[in-house]
Amino acid sequence: MRRVLILTVAFVLTLGVAMFAGTNIISALERTSYTVTYSMQAGGLTRSYEEIAPVAALPRSAPIIVVLSGIAASTDDEVTRDRLVPYVNAGLAELVYPTGYEQSWNAGGCCGGAAAAKVDDVAFLKALAAQVDPGHAHPLYVVGYSNGGRLAYRMACSAPGVFDALAVVKAMPMRDCRVTRPVTILQIASLDDTAVPFEPGEHGKESPPATVQVARLRAADGCRAPSVAVPHGAMTMTTWSNCASGARVGFAVWDVGGHNFPWPKGNTAGAAPIIWSFFTNTAFAPLPG
């Protein structure tokens, strides 16, 4: 009787292990994306980045999007915050998250440990772009939030042409960074941002105000065509297309949100589908899936 009981227990355990293994196999087969961390040498330092890519081969027309986090944020924090992964799971894009030096970026005197150590983050991003997109086979875009947005602007000033388009979320360039060459760029702002003033005379430690910066970008791009403004709940997206340079300028403004990365609320879209729509020059649509 005891032997029968042992055999019964063994069978149940074996069945349980098999069922568990089967579940893992099914999960692996159903997985639509994978994440890998890489390291590389750049600017005299060992740097790392995380790649989130679809399991299926990425079409040549699909973009690779480099995301520069805000200060004091881990990669996991930024992945959760920006909500761009659904585009990877749908097989539409690849995401790359470079790791900041002490969770910061040197945008030319700002900010945090990266600026204090005079880290060459421009060299890092130039080398990164060449590594993740050899031969520039895909559209290559960059999204930068706050401190990461300032570095995105530094790239537009110091290394134009590395990225095909930029989305800057609640950040302004450093004072010595003036975009003079045409660039396709989306500026994201909030009327109540505590760091970036919306209009001249408003409170905020960064400069210039968002409206002034957008006017400068339009001038650099030769945008004389009428703007098109489309409301999305408490956010209005204004776009200048068919600029003399062939570039585009976008200005997405939320009524509220402070200095936070815009998340969806009520009938107002978050930043992710707005960024995607601008980058791909397609009509606005909700997140995939």
Separation CA 142–CA 154 (nearest Å)? 12
Q: CB atoms < 10 A from the CB of 123, how many?
A: 16
Q: Has residue 11 got a pLDDT over 60? A: no
DSSP code at position 135: G
Separation CA 59–CA 14 (nearest Å)? 42
Query: Which tokens belong to 234?
Result: 């408490």
pLDDT greater at residue 199 or residue 11: 199
Query: Which tokens belong to 6?
Result: 């042992």
pLDDT tens profile 94-123: 999 999 999 999 999 999 999 999 999 999
- pLDDT, residue 67, reads 98
Q: Evaluate whether 253 touches 192 at the Cβ level (below 8 Å).
A: no
DSSP code at position 15: H
Q: In the predicted model, what is the mean pLDDT of residues 159-185? A: 96
pLDDT tens profile 18-56: 333 343 333 444 679 999 999 999 999 999 999 999 999
- pLDDT, residue 30, reads 64
Strands 33-42 and 45-54, sheet pairing? antiparallel
Query: Could you tell me the sign of the dihedral formed by the alpha carbons of 149, 155, 158, 164, in that order?
Result: negative
- pLDDT-based confidence at residue 125 (cuts at 50, 70, 90): very high
- pLDDT, residue 224, reads 85
Q: Has residue 244 got a pLDDT over 90? A: no
- Among 10-14, 46-50, 228-232, the minimum mean pLDDT is found in 10-14
- pLDDT, residue 20, reads 34
DSSP code at position 102: T
Query: Which tokens belong to 116?
Result: 């204090």
Q: Which residues of 262-272 are buried (b: 16+ CB within 10 A; e: fewer)?
A: bebeeebbbbb
- Among 102-111, 174-183, 225-234, the minimum mean pLDDT is found in 225-234
Q: CB atoms < 10 A from the CB of 189, how many?
A: 25
Q: CB atoms < 10 A from the CB of 142, how many?
A: 28
- pLDDT, residue 6, reads 33
DSSP string, 74-92: -HHHHHHHH--HHHHHTTS
pLDDT greater at residue 9 or residue 100: 100
Separation CA 103–CA 125 (nearest Å)? 15
Q: Has residue 16 got a pLDDT over 90? A: no
Q: What kind of architecture, by CATH, is found in domain 34-280?
A: 3-Layer(aba) Sandwich (3.40)
- pLDDT-based confidence at residue 268 (cuts at 50, 70, 90): confident
Kindly list the distances between the CA atom of residue 159 and the CA atoms of 112, 126, 166, 213, in Å, as whole numbers in the listed order: 22, 8, 13, 19
Q: In the predicted model, what is the mean pLDDT of residues 134-154? A: 98
Domain regions of the chain by residue span: 1-30, 34-280
